[in-house]
Amino acid sequence: MSASSTSSGKQIDLRSDTVTLPTPAMRRAMAEAMVGDDVFGEDPTVNELEAQTAVVLGKEAALFVPSGTMANQIAVRTHTEHGDEIVVESSAHIYYYEAGGPAALSGVMCRCVTGRRGIFSGADLEAVLRPPDQHFPPTRLVCIENTHNRGGGSVWRLDQIADVAAVAKRRGLRLHMDGARLWNAAVATGVSERDLAAPFDSVSVCFSKGLGAPVGSALAGSKEFIARARRFRKQFGGGMRQAGIIAAGALHALHNHRSRLAEDHANAKRLAQGLSRLPGVAIDVESVETNIVLFRVTGGSATEFVRKLDALGVRMLATGADTIRAVTNLNVSGEDITVALEIIAAMCTGSGN
Ligand code: TLP
């Protein structure tokens, strides 16, 4: 792929926190990892990663899987039977970005709640729940996403989680959290991953987003839940062999890259503040809570804005007709944000042409 670069020769890639490259220390850990056949349960590095992830999330067990999508879809499959209904937020990754997985893989219906920047209340949940009746699919599972991707990296606070969890519990529903960026929520709130995960029957986390590992996610829950999930991982084709090589990258990320997310959050805030001063850009700076910055372009299309910016060496993602997403990450420094802002300012004011 040949992409443009800034005048310093660097490309500033803000499309996602999935684009990060492994650090030299992470590569060393991967190269030196002890490995075995994980389908036989014999990969010591995978076993260690699963054990340590379970501890961090305060759950009995965890399962290493190739992707966040697989972790979520295995969770849906493990909690449900064909013909059940699950409740998701209308822009949740599970519903919006996972290629119809709930219908295709689990045969379940999705019932949507529309939140505010992805966050909904116990009352919102209550409003979509129907009584047991032969006409209705049995509702089994409620999913929330923390942080919420299309909500702009918005954080579910403990009281908001407790509100939804209380309704779910009262109605006998199971609770899953898509915690692809739970690490960011923990850093932003100062509340541990374990506490944020406590009300949930299952939690998925990603090592390949903000934490910067090249591959890998995990699903955590009770021992019984994970034993059933392990069978669906195999059925979905996610049983890997000497997976310790990638698990070592994830383990390194879990130990070394969590607290540094504060830097990504500060960079996102500064990017948002800089963007707010530019003509043709509409942004709510206050809404930037973690590493995702969403803004609107008012004088043209998002696709065109992103294409022009790309040619100047700064990459972002158009997420709608006039909406753009920038995600700060491990490979983008504070200095890169300064350079990116200069480039965007020149483009928006026409002074760079
Ligand atoms: N999100 C990706 C894209 O798929 C949109 C991104 O660039 O943000 N849950 C959440 C909340 C996610 O944001 C993602 C990835 C996933 C699950 C899926 O993870 P992967 O890509 O590992 O399947």
CATH number at residue 225: 3.40.640.10
Q: Report the pocket of ligand 1 as residue ranges, CB < 6 Å.
A: 16, 18, 67-69, 72, 93, 97, 145, 149, 178, 180, 206, 208, 217
Distance from Cα 338 to the centre of ligand 1, integer Å: 27
Say whether both 33 and 109 belong to one domain. Answer: yes
Q: Tell me whether residue 1 is in a domain.
A: no
Atom of ligand 1 nearest to the CA of 97: 4
Q: Is the pLDDT of residue 116 over 90?
A: yes
Say whether both 201 and 219 belong to one domain. Answer: yes
Q: What is the pLDDT of residue 1?
A: 43
Q: Is the pLDDT of residue 167 over 90?
A: yes
Sheet holding 281-282, edge to edge: 281-282, 292-297, 323-327, 317-318
Q: What is the pLDDT of residue 118?
A: 98
Say whether both 236 and 287 belong to one domain. Answer: no
Q: Is the pLDDT of residue 226 over 90?
A: yes
Say whether both 272 and 165 belong to one domain. Answer: no
Q: Residue 4's pLDDT band (boundaries 50, 70, 90)?
A: confident
Tokens 């822009």 sit on residue: 91
Say whether both 178 and 140 belong to one domain. Answer: yes
Q: What is the pLDDT of residue 6?
A: 81
Q: Is the pLDDT of residue 27 over 60?
A: yes
Q: Tell me whether residue 79 is in a domain.
A: yes
d(CA 153, CA 159): 18
Domain that holds residue 341: 12-17+260-349
Say whether both 311 and 323 belong to one domain. Answer: yes
Q: Tell me whether residue 7 is in a domain.
A: no
Q: What is the pLDDT of residue 350?
A: 85
Say whether both 209 and 306 belong to one domain. Answer: no
- Whose CA is closest to 178, among 246, 84, 87, 250? 87
Structural domain ending residue among the three candidates 237, 256, 275? 256
- CA dihedral 189→195→198→202, nearest 10 degrees, is 60
Distance from Cα 208 to the centre of ligand 1, integer Å: 9
Which of 88, 181, 209, 290 for mutating ligand 1's site (highest number of atoms within 8 Å of CB)?
Answer: 209
Structural domain ending residue among the three candidates 256, 276, 298? 256
Rounded average pLDDT over 295-311: 96
Q: What is the pLDDT of residue 3?
A: 65
Say whether both 340 and 266 belong to one domain. Answer: yes
Say whether both 171 and 268 belong to one domain. Answer: no
Task: Please check whether residue 54 is in contact with residue 281, taking contact to mean a CB–CB distance below 8 angstroms.
Answer: no
Atom of ligand 1 nearest to the CA of 206: 22
Q: What is the DSSP letter of 137?
A: P
Say whether both 285 and 211 belong to one domain. Answer: no
**Average pLDDT for the chain:** 97
Say whether both 202 and 274 belong to one domain. Answer: no
Say whether both 233 and 107 belong to one domain. Answer: yes
Q: Tell me whether residue 115 is in a domain.
A: yes
CATH number of residue 301's parent domain: 3.90.1150.10
Atom of ligand 1 nearest to the CA of 18: 7
**What percentage of the chain carries pLDDT values higher than 90?**
95
Q: What is the pLDDT of residue 202?
A: 99
Q: Tell me whether residue 218 is in a domain.
A: yes
Distance from Cα 134 to the centre of ligand 1, integer Å: 36
Domain count, the chain: 2
Q: Is the pLDDT of residue 352 over 80?
A: no
Q: What is the pLDDT of residues 177-212, one digit of tens each?
A: 999 999 999 999 999 999 999 999 999 999 999 999
Q: What is the DSSP letter of 140?
A: E
Q: Phi-psi region for residue 32, left (φ > 0), alpha (ψ -120 to 50) or beta?
A: alpha
